[in-house]
Every structure is written in C-alpha cells, then in structure tokens.
A = this chain, B = another copy of it.
Amino acid sequence: MSQDNLNLVSAEKINSFIYNALVKAGLTSDNAASVAELMTESDVIGGDAHGIFRLPSYVKRIIAGGINPTPNITISKERDAMALIDGDNGMGHLVMKKAAEIAIEKAKKNGVAWVGANSSNHAGPASIYAKMPLKHNMIGIYVAVGSANHVPPWGGTEMLLSTNPIAIAIPSKAMPPIILDMATTVAAYGKVKEKLQRGEEMPEGWMIDKEGKPLTDPSKSGEGFLLPIGGPKGYGLALMLGILAGTLNGAAFGKNVVDFNADVTSFTNTGQFIIAIDIEAFSDVDVFKGNIDTVWKQMKASPLLPGFDEIRLPGERSDKVAKERRANGIPMHENLKAALDGVADNLGIDRIL
C-alpha cells in the first residue's frame, strides 16, 4: 500500500464511528460501547484485519438477521472451575468479554478456570481476550474455531478445518507482557487477502492447490487451501483446538462450520473458550513477573543468525505498534474508508472523516 492511499485516523474517531454504527444497527448503548472498544483495540495493536475492517460485514450480518443485536447471554452449565456460556447468537465480542469476566472471577477463588461458549460469533483477534486476565495478575489463554474452513485434514482436499487460532498472554514486570496470537496455519487467511489487495504473489508454503502443488497467486486462493504449520502437526493442533472450542461446547466444528463471509444469515454457532490462571495460586506474583523479565532478557541476548537484526518476543511488535498508533493515529486504506462511508450513508450516521 502506498502512503498516499492512507488516512491517519485517531482511535477515538474509530471508536465513536463503530459505536454509532452498532447503535444504529440495533445494539444497546452498553453493548455497542463494549464492542467498539474491543474492535478499536484491535486496530490500535495492529490487528488490522480484525478491527474496523470487519464493521461492514458485521453490520451487514446484523441487519440480515445473522447476528442477534440484543442477545441474552447466559450461563447454561457451571461448576466451580468452569462455565459454559450460551451466547444467544450475539456479537462474539460480547460473549467472550463475559466469558473472560467469569473465568477471572472463578480463577480468583479456585486458581484456574475454563469458560467455553457456544452460539457465539466472530470475536476479533484472539489476543484481546487472552490479555483480559493480565491486570488481575493472571495468565490468559483463548482459543476459537475460525469463522470459515480453509484447511483440509492432512493429505486430504476437503476443507473441514479452520485456522483455529490460539492466544496466550503472560504478564511481566518491567517489560511488556508476552502475548502469543497465532493461527495454526502458516499464514492466516487475512494475509492472503492482503497480498491480493497489494497485487503481490504469495510465497511458496502458504497454500497448495488440489493437486498438492504450491499456489502463489492470491486471486486463485479459492482453488486451494491454507497449509497448517508443521504439516501433520498443525493439522493435529487445528483439529484438537477445534474440538475443544467447538465440539466440547456444543458449537459448530467440521462440516457444521458456516462460512461467515459467504453466508450472512445462517446461525454460525461459533465456539470459543478462555482459560484464566491465577499466578498467585502457583507462585509469588512478583517473583513470577521478574522471572518473565529474565526470560525476555535471555531471549533478546541470544546472538543472531545472519539476516536477522533482532530477536522478537511474541507481542513485542504489537506493543510498539500500539504506542505509535495511540500517538499518531491508525492508518486507514482509502478502500476501507470508502466501505465505511457506505456503512455511514446506509445507516444515516456521520462519516468517519
């Protein structure tokens, strides 16, 4: 993307635009504010494919009846260290925010808690939920069934699996928290869309076609599939995470997964789960956080391979991006700006700029 196609937009403007659109689409003020905050955070931390970029499709889906704008999110099963949440087909952000709150509360008492959800929807980047326990001196783990299948079982050609991401967030003392947020495929599908938008080839190793040959033209991505990390290992991981986030929760998995982009009306029954771990149950919190700083420093101090200029910790890039974007604004491509203008005009709200 060349710089002249970009506008810089403040987080506040993004937040209020999303809020206005969602209220107009039928969400309550409180719920719209929660979703807007989480979507904006996604843009701030550099999760560009999961923030305001998704607003046009969310609004389309709400208006088409594919998402319930006024869900009654309830606990359908519960024990001391777990809960199962019925998201009532609400926005995934609302469902997983509630799941995280319950997990944190239960972990405070019992040390660890695992909260799953069904009847949820796409919730944005995994890391924003994994991060929620951090300020309570807890570790967070979040897993989701992806919102469209792009991956066959290893050796096959039928797309039965998604990129099923996992995020793990661990608090530190003086350094930023360590936050891993990864798809179980070599490239997330959003990266393919990005290559297409930029008119670039994909590197070999991202996708193969139905003959098993490398697929590097992003305009032909519909004729192939994403490759899992480590071949059969990534397939195994996507499968197991999908069962834990989907099947265990009574949510969709395998053939039941609805392609969220292609079909805007069907009930997706998306499944996700979050784990909160109270560090104090295991260790002195301060000692633990100091040890995480030591891990940081050990990794950073490793001599480098030729061609690398630094070692990065997971989450380090996002942390830098967030500081820069909070100060200077969030770059927005003119195509996205145009799509948001369309949303504004349709809903009868002010344009973002």
Binding site for B on A (CB under 8 A): 77, 79-82, 84, 106-107, 109-114, 116, 139, 152-158, 160, 168, 170, 178, 180, 182-183, 186, 208, 210-212, 229-230, 232-234, 236-237, 239-240, 243-244, 247-250, 253-255, 277-279, 281-283, 288, 291-292, 294-295, 298-299, 301-308, 310-314
Contacts and interface: CB of A to CB of B under 8 A. Distances in A.
Contacts of A250: 282-283
B156 A303 contact: yes
B247 A295 contact: yes
A276 to B, nearest CB: 10
Nearest to A249: B282
A35 to B, nearest CB: 26
Contact of A254 (B168, B186, B294): B294
Nearest to A80: B110
Contact of A82 (B77, B112, B254): B112
B253 A182 contact: no
A182 B114 contact: no
B139 A254 contact: no
28 contacts: A79-B111, A81-B107, A81-B111, A82-B112, A84-B281, A112-B113, A112-B114, A114-B277, A152-B302, A153-B299, A154-B312, A155-B304, A155-B308, A156-B311, A157-B305, A160-B302, A178-B239, A180-B240, A208-B305, A210-B305, A212-B305, A229-B230, A229-B234, A239-B314, A247-B288, A248-B283, A249-B283, A254-B299
Contacts of A114: 111-112, 277
Contact of A180 (B79, B82, B139, B239): B239
A298 B81 contact: no
Contacts of A304: 155-157
Contacts of A229: 229-230, 233-234
Contacts of A84: 281-282
Nearest to A243: B170
A173 to B, nearest CB: 13
A81 to B, nearest CB: 3
B240 A168 contact: yes
Given A157-B305, A212-B307, A283-B250, A255 B109 contact: no
List of 9 A-B pairs having minimum Cβ-Cβ separation, nearest first: A229-B230, A156-B302, A81-B81, A82-B111, A79-B111, A155-B308, A158-B302, A81-B110, A112-B114
A113 B80 CA distance: 10
A344 to B, nearest CB: 37
Contacts of A279: 248
A238 to B, nearest CB: 10
A292 B110 contact: no
Q: Which of A116, A230, A283, A306 has the most CB of B within 10 A?
A: A230
